[in-house]
Amino acid sequence: MTIQQCIDEKKSGFLYGNRLILPFKGRFLKVVVEKDIITDFSPSSKGINIVEEDYYTNLYFLEYNFLRETLSEYGNIKIIVVEKDDNIFDVSKHKKIAVYKTDTHEATIEETEHDILFIE
Amino acid sequence: MLLIRPFMRMNKDRIKSYHIIFFIFVVSNAGGALTPIGDPPLFLGFLKGVPFFWVVEQVWLIWIIAIALILAIFFMLDMNNKAGAKEEQQYSGKIEFKGLKNLGYLAIIIGSVFLDPAVMSWVPSLDPLPVGIREIIMFGVVFAAFKTADKSVLKANEFDFGPIKEVAYLFVGIFFTMIPALRLIADLAKENSDVFTSSLFYWASGALSSFLDNAPTYLNFMSAAMGKFGFDLNGGAAQTQLFLQNPDAIQYLTAISVGAVFFGAMTYIGNGPNFMVKSIAESAGVRVPTFIEYIIKYSLPILLPVYAIIWFFFFRG
């Protein structure tokens, strides 16, 4: 499933501990959680480890124990990501999304184009 | 601080860390030097009997020069930033207000600032309680505003108590650790008030306001300045007004006011809003300098020369 399909179909991800599970695969460029701006996703990164499975992606936030506790009611995890098949060098293909916690482990995924302020 | 989001939104295609820094310089600090509601030290002075419009009468020229110099430096830096310039922007032409009722809440907050027994004699004092009528109204308005807020607006603003909590923790720490330093200053100021000049008042209140909270710093130096003329800061508004009839006293208090307000921009901890602006910018994805970087790359090379120029023309001596 593409990122756009996930957004259009309002697919949810999951938050377990320090793990965010996203129902798509993509090329990650930037993640903002709280005041942490994370752009290093290399294997030696102390910020986030990205582990891809067959049709979804795990993001392990290494400096956080419980993401659900970190996020406030209106807070979110902001992500800039590009579809696997898109050209990463075409800025117009960079998708800005925000992930919100819910009352359960589910995490809603929305595009941030209009209201949410997210600087690339 | 309220303006940081619109400011970032306006510049979203070209924003750099220096935009945030200059916002802190101008909007969060130096810009507030004109009235007692612009910055807490001036408000404390107002509560001690400094007339409301006294500050703007004394400071307007200094304010214009300082702001013009800082903005000129900003303009020179910003001229080289062409990011976003080629992109065609589409605007709907529609102006929409969301959460307009909050302006009413804001008006109540600003109005309640003046509800102090020292300013309006009919306002009851709640001594020995640590809060007064003003604080009760303010907390009530904050609670009502939060409870009646439009959830979609809160979500769009990513409302979070995080930045205010961070500032609260930080300033609780600063307030506790600054007590000995302030005691020392108060004693030094009292003992050596005869040798205090407007230069010393300007630089000393500025240097301390850069790292400690500027409100108590202002009060300590105001107390020292009044002590030079045999007046007591806690002697009531009448003493302050008598003090301000002396031209030297005007010069001293102007130096203290400008030093306390302007130098609050020298570090992130010089003024509460600095940290909140930093926090909001970071959570929107804008990387801002670290504490040391801020001082070395921005406040020392930009602000210090500007403040030295202000000192040279207005407070030398």
Contact A119 B284 (CB under 8 A): yes
Query: Got the DSSP string for A30-73?
Result: EEEETTEEE---STT-SSEEEEE-SS-EEEEETT-S-HHHHS-T
Range of B188-192, B209-213, B285-289 with top mean pLDDT: B285-289
Q: Which residues of A touch B287 (CB under 8 A)?
A: 37
Range of A41-45, B8-12, B197-201, B236-240 with top mean pLDDT: B197-201
Distance, in Å, from the CA atom of B245 to the CA atom of B238, rounded to the nearest integer, reads 11
Which among A36, A37, A119 is the nearest to B8, CB-wise?
A: A119
CB A51 within 8 A of CB A22: no
Amino acid B173: pLDDT: 81
List of residues 6+ apart from A73 with CB closer than 8 A: B154, B159
Distance, in Å, from the CA atom of A83 to the CA atom of A7, rounded to the nearest integer, reads 12
Stretch (H or E) spanning A20: strand A19-22
Instruction: Kindly give the interhelix angle for B40-47 and B247-262, rounded to the nearest 10 degrees.
Output: 150
> CA-based Rg of chain B, rounded to a whole angstrom?
21
Amino acid A119: pLDDT: 72
CA angle at A74 for the pair A70 and A76, rounded to the nearest 5°: 55
Phi and psi for B148 in degrees, rounded to 5? -100, 5
The predicted complex's ipTM stands at 0.79
Amino acid B300: pLDDT: 95
Q: Which residues of A touch B284 (CB under 8 A)?
A: 32, 117-119
pLDDT tens for B144-178 read: 999 998 888 888 888 888 778 877 887 788 777 77
Query: Which residues in A have their CB inside 8 Å of a CB on B?
Result: 30, 32, 34-37, 72-76, 78, 115-120
Give the number of other CB atoms < 10 A from CB of residue B134.
Answer: 19
Q: Which residues of A touch B162 (CB under 8 A)?
A: 34, 72, 75
Which among B9, B160, B161 is the nearest to A117, CB-wise?
A: B9
Tokens of B263: 């130098």
Taking CA–CA distances from B283, the nearest residue in chain A reads A35
pLDDT tens for B44-98 read: 898 888 998 999 999 999 999 999 999 999 999 998 887 765 566 677 788 878 8
Q: Which residue has the higher pLDDT, A20 or B221?
A: A20
Give the number of other CB atoms < 10 A from CB of residue B5.
Answer: 16
Average pLDDT, rounded, for chain A: 89
Contact A117 B287 (CB under 8 A): no
Distance, in Å, from the CA atom of B284 to the CA atom of B193, rounded to the nearest integer, reads 47
Amino acid B37: pLDDT: 87
